[in-house]
A = this chain, B = another copy of it.
Amino acid sequence: MNDANIGGRIIIQQCVSAKLQTNAGSDETPQFVSIGGGIVIYVCFMKDATEDTALKMARTVCNIRLCPSENSGRVSVIELPGDILVVPQATLGGKQKGNRMQYHGNVDKTIGKKLYETLVENLKKIQSDNSKCLEKGVQTQFGTYGNLQVLSVDTNGPYTHILNF
């Protein structure tokens, strides 16, 4: 897939726990969201992104088998079931030019924010439609779009993957 015609990009990392500040850069008391075992996803929407990009991202993130299971083999975050932490990360759209990065391929911020909300809503919906997820009480937590992402991640192997949409 060529960078020129992708709608978005996600990096997925496996985690034991993760914590993210939702009001970084403000003068308020720091507010955090945190998750237990599951995945951290870093999300970026590109110029060609549509509502369908966000829906496809949500389905793929929930169904792709990258989580370590108690038996051998890998299972999806829904099969685990595990938590999801969504980190907006526009820098994933960067292209190297000399010693700097450029972000000309990124989506307009207003559209990006709307697609980000669609993604989060759909991750939550897929979890809430699954009885194992409901029973275990797994969650989707998420960062504030457009903010600095003050993030800590603990892993037993990040098992980092890049997905283009």
Interface stretch, picked from A62-70, A119-127, A133-141, is A62-70
Pick from B2, B89, B99: contact of A160, CB below 8 A. Answer: B89
Copies in the complex: 2
Which residues of the other chain, B, contact A2 by a CB distance below 8 angstroms? 2
Cross-chain contact of A153 among B149, B152, B159 (Cβ < 8 A): B152
Q: Is A163 on the interface with B (CB-CB < 8 A)? A: yes
CA distance A97 to B93 in the complex (A): 23
Is A94 part of the contact surface with B, judged by Cβ < 8 Å? yes
Chain A 94-112 against B: per-residue CB contact (8 Å), 1 yes, 0 no?
A: 1010011100000000000
Q: Is A55 an interface residue (CB 8 A)?
A: no
Nearest B residue to A153 by beta-carbon distance?
B153
For residue A76, CB closer than 8 A to chain B, the reply is yes
Contact B157 A150 (CB under 8 A): yes
A-B interface, 3 closest residue pairs, ranked by CB to CB distance from nearest: A148-B157, A152-B154, A151-B155
